[in-house]
């Protein structure tokens, strides 16, 4: 082991760099951006109209001295899902999530009100699903919301094992553009 | 005319009060609140699932010293419409507007990107409409988005006359609860 004169161990630069793992938030942002790009592609080609809902913000103070400037506000939890839209006249609603785990998708990624919302969507005849990205495996699946909600409501389960996601989900084709081509799967498995 | 000793004219209190007309923003808020209440009623009864989109906010500065506190942000224009949701599996999208005028609905209430958005919704087979409230007449109409967009795109027209709205629109029944019962009209005139 090599040491500095002060006794501290020497760590080569490449080892240090290897440790730099993107944070959960940033990983999410990357996947979210890819889904947004996919939706922009669908809009451009006239295939579907799918929007990301803005994050709700609780506004506390607004300064009206020079126009309306918000000076104090806080992020709020999304009470619904991130995405919704229209495809062949049908209502679509989904949540896109990414996990770094190789073995299971942790269900604490999903908020209870999102489960309630997705159940309501299906009750109204809408199409509801999850897009789950397995970051470490480079695989992405479309999973029926009913299946995920059933899992969520079974108390002892805290995650969806990869094997279950693979056998019940539908693998999304990844390419340059559209990045995650989930629409053909929706057409094949969810449209009646 | 009665004058104060400093020469200023005396205005009786009741005359002053009479002048107090609610501002455009507040009027809008009242109608918006009623539509939100109507949607809450529909959700409660399991008739439809319709949400108000949050107003998009452009966040400039966030202070992370005590959690995430937004310290500088600005309101942005809604790039789509205020409401969307699902009814019998169909995608619904609409904008709710109120006018104080007795004779015409000014089209400058509608943003160009909203017209583009509503055209896109109809291209994808979704149901798109306006709910127009004539505040001074206590009347509210559901109007097909295509009809309003056609008006909007005819350059010389700056407003929709009341008579035209009445003859092409569908009168919404008002009551205590639901406040504006527009869903039966959607079912009757827009569902195929």
Measured between CB atoms, which of B55, B75, B126 is closest to A86?
Answer: B126
B188 CB near a chain A CB, below 8 Å?
A: no
Distance separating alpha carbons of residues A188 and B33, to the nearest angstrom: 40
- φ/ψ of residue B119, rounded to 5: -60, -45
What would the mean pLDDT of A4-21 be, rounded to a whole number? 67
Average pLDDT over chain A, rounded to an integer: 88
- In the predicted model, what is the mean pLDDT of residues A125-141? 96
Chain B contacts of A85, Cβ < 8 Å?
Answer: 91
Contact B68 A75 (CB under 8 A): yes
Chain B residues whose CB is inside 8 A of the A57 CB are 54, 57, 59, 70, 73
Q: What is the pLDDT of residue B133?
A: 96
The pLDDT of B10-39, averaged and rounded, is: 71
Q: What is the pLDDT of residue B40?
A: 96
pLDDT at B37 over 60: yes
Tell me the shortest Cα–Cα distance from A33 to chain B, in angstroms: 17
How distant is the Cα of A15 from the closest Cα of chain B, in angstroms?
A: 30
Q: What is the dihedral of CA B163, B165, B167, B169, to 10 degrees?
A: -160
* Mean pLDDT of the residues in chain B: 89
Taking CB atoms and an 8 Å cutoff, what residues of chain B touch A48? Answer: 124
ipTM of the complex: 0.78
Q: Which residues of B52-82 are buried (b: 16+ CB within 10 A; e: fewer)?
A: ebbeebebeeeeeeeeebbebbeeeebebbb
The chain A residue lying nearest B72, using CA atoms, is A71
Of B73, B80, B90, the CB nearest to A91: B90
pLDDT at residue B15, as a whole number: 57
Is 70 exceeded by the pLDDT of residue B38?
yes
DSSP A53: P
pLDDT above 60: residue A89: yes
Place of tokens 């299946």: A147
> Which of A73, A119, A123 to probe the B interface (max B CBs under 10 A)?
A73
- Residue B116 in contact with partner chain A when CB distance is under 8 A: no
Residues in chain B closer than 8 A to A92 (CB atoms): 91
pLDDT one-digit tens code per residue, B39-72: 999 999 999 999 998 888 899 999 998 888 999 9
C-alpha to C-alpha distances, B38 to A23, A73, B173, nearest whole angstrom: 42, 28, 12
- A46/B80 Cβ within 8 A: no
Angle at B97 between CA A62 and CA B114, to 5 degrees: 85
Question: In chain B, whose CA is at the least distance from the CA of A70?
Answer: B73
Interval B106-150: pLDDT, tens? 998 898 999 999 999 999 999 999 999 999 999 999 999 999 999
pLDDT value at residue A50 = 96
Give B108 to chain A, closest Cα distance, Å: 20
| Mean pLDDT computed over A54-81 | 88
Is the CB of B136 inside 8 Å of chain A's CB atoms?
no
The secondary structure of residue A19, as a DSSP letter, is T
Query: H or E stretch including A106?
Result: strand A104-106
| pLDDT per residue as tens digits for the range A20-46 | 555 555 556 789 999 999 999 999 999
Classify strands B139-144 and B170-171 as parallel, antiparallel or unpaired: antiparallel
Q: What is the dihedral of CA B167, B168, B174, B179, to 10 degrees?
A: -160
A178 touches A41 (CB < 8 A): yes
Pairwise CA distance, residues B137 & B166, whole Å: 12
Which residues in chain A are closer than 8 Å to B120, comparing Cβ atoms? 43, 49
* Number of other CB atoms surrounding residue B17 within 10 Å: 8
The shortest CB-CB distance from A72 to any of B53, B57, B71 is to B71
Q: What is the pTM of this model?
A: 0.81
Q: Does A187 touch chain B (CB under 8 A)?
A: no
Angle CA B45–B48–B49, to nearest 5: 110
Q: Which chain A residues contact residue B68 at CB under 8 A?
A: 74-75
Is B91 within 8 Å of A93 when comparing Cβ atoms?
no
Torsion of CA B182, A89, A119, A26, to 10 degrees: -120
Answer yes or no: is pLDDT of B103 > 80: yes
Tokens coding B144: 């097909």
Lowest mean pLDDT of B5-14, B22-31, B91-100, B110-119, name the range. B22-31
Site from A63, A124, A127, A192 to mutate, B interface, most B CB atoms within 10 angstroms: A124
Asked if the model's pLDDT at residue B23 lies above 80, the reply is no
Query: Could you report the per-residue pLDDT of B153-180, keeping only the tens digit for each?
Result: 887 788 999 999 999 999 999 999 999 9
Partner A contacted by B91 (CB < 8 A): yes
């Amino acid at each position: 082991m090599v040491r500095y004169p002060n006794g501290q161990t020497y760590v080569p630069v490449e080892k240090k760099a290897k440790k730099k793992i993107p944070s959960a938030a940033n990983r999410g942002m990357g996947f979210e951006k890819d889904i947004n790009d996919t939706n922009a592609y669908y809009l451009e080609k006239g295939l579907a109209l799918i929007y990301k809902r803005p994050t709700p913000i609780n506004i506390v103070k607004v300064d009206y001295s020079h126009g309306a400037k918000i000076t104090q506000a806080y992020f709020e939890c999304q009470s619904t899902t991130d995405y919704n839209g229209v495809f062949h006249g049908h209502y679509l609603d989904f949540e896109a999530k990414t996990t770094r785990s190789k073995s299971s998708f942790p269900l604490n990624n999903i908020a209870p009100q999102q489960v309630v919302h997705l159940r309501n969507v299906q009750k109204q005849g809408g199409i509801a699903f999850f897009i789950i990205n397995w970051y470490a495996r480079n695989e992405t699946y479309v999973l029926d919301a009913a299946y995920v909600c059933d899992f969520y409501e079974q108390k002892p389960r805290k995650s969806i094992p990869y094997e279950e996601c693979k056998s019940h989900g539908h693998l999304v084709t990844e390419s340059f553009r559209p990045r995650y081509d989930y629409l053909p799967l929706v057409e094949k498995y969810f449209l009646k």
